[in-house]
Amino acid sequence: MSTNEYTPIIGLEIHVEMRTNSKMFCGCPAEHFGAEPNSHTCPVCLGLPGALPVANGEAIKRTVKIGLALGCSIAEESKFDRKNYFYPDLPKGYQISQYDQPLCYEGLVHTDSGDVRITRVHLEEDTAKLQHVTLTPDQMKAANVEHADVSLLDFNRSGVPLVEIVTEPDIKTGAQAREFGKLLVQTLRYLGVSDCDMEKGSLRLEANISVQSEEEKAAGKLPNYKVEVKNLNSFRFLERAIDFEIERHTAMRRAGETPTQETRGWNDDRSVTFSQRSKEEAEDYRYFPDPDLPPLYLSQELVTEIGESLPELPQAAYIRLQSGYGLSAQNAEVFTAEREVLLAGEQLLQAAQKSELEPQTVANDVVNKKVETWILDAERVSSAPPEEVAAEVKKVLQTIAKARQTESIPAEEVHAIMDEIASTADGKDAIEKYRSGKVQVIGFLMGQLMRKLQKKVDAGEVKQVLENYLQND
Ligand SMILES: [Zn+2]
């Protein structure tokens, strides 16, 4: 199968729920996971008439943080718009979002298989949550409903700050999409803006996929269709769904057909995508500026201040650990997996540098579990007080240093050195004395041997190897 005949054109849309204290436009707690349904609500997030929204400043700052970390420009002026559509989880009949003036735009992210441009990063509010359940006869009676199958609404999620990150269609493979997604999550976690927990729905992935013919490519045109794959709740599913779609589209286009413009889902059991709804025409959301919210003006000073507050980002740390401590790429990856791990891990590397141990060998022992420690366990290090981390660092180094001292010396190495010693007049003499029964000369031979070994080794062990040499040779 020819692979160059059609070029995959893939863009991602990623929604990230932010863990701010309060919701986007009201004072209700933003935490909704596991809370009693409809316990975090007020007239604003229930969409009651006359209730007025007030924008959450912390959510705006966090969005700017994300934009800066993704290399975006930050809009000096932006605004909130109403996106109008009807759905039971949207009580106002519109979602407050950003249309033509997003907070952040034109960013860039480097992946191993090429750059991915960021179109925009904007801020909006999440919807309520629908739950489809079957009631027991008792529950039906209590709720005074005639049908057992009902849909319940929980407004705890309504109005939670949601950031949407949109990429240009620069991605070419499922693997690249996966790499980009993982890097994005790692970055967002470093920034501390979201837990990005896909199981809790804090991170939602969508991919827009089409394949471009040689002619379209030559003419600089994008294909006249695209398929959206939604509700992908893991990076593995994202990768597999994209690769499946690339093959499906290529086969169809080769046969002279155009894939239907539609939304599809991923069935992992069958390893296929399936049609959810066709999307022949673009939806008309009748966007207009929200009259209840003033435009947003961000001063250059504030943007600079936010920029200066950014932590070192994972890609930079990954490079620095290799150049600064001589870590292998693989170990640097482990040490930078999470920001908490990097902070604790670097304490270990610095302490190793100050001791006689080499940081890269210490890193190696820790990564390869030659020493038992929780220093790279993100959950453990983030909950441990600083003095506990410091004590753990000390313990790890002591364990490794001790292991080094009793490092076993290969018998061949001892034998080679003994052959050398035996070739000198003093050495030859001592060995002959030993073999004739004057075993106390072993002290002299040990001294010679240890000087030549130049390593911290267990003397008892070396003596044993030496005795074997003297008795057998
Ligand atoms: Zn509220």
Ligand 1 mean position, distance from CA 190 (Å): 28
Task: Report the alpha-carbon distance of residue 413 to residue 420 in Å, rounded.
Answer: 11
Residue 143 within any structural domain of the chain: no
Residue 352 within any structural domain of the chain: yes
Residues 166 and 53 reside in one and the same domain: yes
pLDDT of residue 406: 64
Ligand 1 mean position, distance from CA 47 (Å): 9
Residues 237 and 316 reside in one and the same domain: no
Residues 366 and 384 reside in one and the same domain: yes
pLDDT of residue 1: 46
Q: Which of 405, 426, 443 is where one domain is finished?
A: 405
Residue 152 within any structural domain of the chain: no
Q: Which of 355, 383, 405 is where one domain is finished?
A: 405
Residues 294 and 227 reside in one and the same domain: yes
pLDDT of residue 166: 98
- Name which of 20, 31, 49 is nearest 156 in CA terms: 31
Residues 292 and 358 reside in one and the same domain: no
pLDDT of residue 4: 61
Residues 427 and 372 reside in one and the same domain: no
Q: What angle do CA 189, 194, 196 make, to 5 degrees?
A: 75
Task: Report the alpha-carbon distance of residue 237 to residue 243 in Å, rounded.
Answer: 10
Ligand 1 mean position, distance from CA 153 (Å): 15
């991923």: which residue's tokens?
Answer: 266
Residues 209 and 90 reside in one and the same domain: yes
Residues 391 and 342 reside in one and the same domain: yes
Domain residues for the domain of 416 are: 411-472
pLDDT of residue 280: 60
Residues 425 and 400 reside in one and the same domain: no
Residues 101 and 241 reside in one and the same domain: yes
Task: Report the alpha-carbon distance of residue 389 to residue 378 in Å, rounded.
Answer: 12
pLDDT in tens, the chain (473 residues): 445 689 999 999 999 999 899 999 999 999 998 899 999 999 999 999 999 999 999 999 999 999 999 999 999 999 999 999 999 999 999 999 999 999 999 999 999 999 999 999 999 999 999 999 999 999 999 989 999 999 999 999 999 999 999 999 999 999 999 999 999 999 999 999 999 999 888 999 999 999 999 999 999 999 999 999 998 989 999 999 999 999 999 999 999 999 999 999 999 999 999 999 876 666 789 999 999 999 999 999 999 999 999 999 999 999 999 999 999 999 999 999 999 999 999 999 999 999 888 999 999 999 998 899 999 999 999 999 999 999 999 999 999 888 877 666 677 888 888 899 989 999 999 999 999 888 889 889 988 888 887 776 767 778 888 888 888 75
Total of domains in the chain? 3
Beta-carbon contacts of 70 under 8 Å, excluding residues fewer than 6 positions away, are 104, 107, 108, 109, 118, 121, 165, 184, 187
Residue 162 within any structural domain of the chain: yes
Ligand 1 mean position, distance from CA 145 (Å): 28
Task: Report the alpha-carbon distance of residue 32 to residue 55 in Å, rounded.
Answer: 19
Residues 199 and 329 reside in one and the same domain: no
Ligand 1 mean position, distance from CA 27 (Å): 6
Residues 78 and 204 reside in one and the same domain: yes
Q: Which CATH number characterizes residue 418's domain?
A: 1.10.10
Ligand 1 mean position, distance from CA 230 (Å): 28
Q: Which of 270, 303, 336 is where one domain is finished?
A: 303
Ligand 1 mean position, distance from CA 39 (Å): 10
Q: Which long-range contacts (CB under 8 A, 24 or more apart) does 432-436 make?
A: 434/470, 435/470
Beta-carbon contacts of 139 under 8 Å, excluding residues fewer than 6 positions away, are none
Residue 145 within any structural domain of the chain: no
Ligand 1 mean position, distance from CA 155 (Å): 9
Ligand 1 mean position, distance from CA 135 (Å): 28
Q: What is the pTM of this model?
A: 0.83
Residue 136 within any structural domain of the chain: no
Residue 363 within any structural domain of the chain: yes
Residue 144 within any structural domain of the chain: no
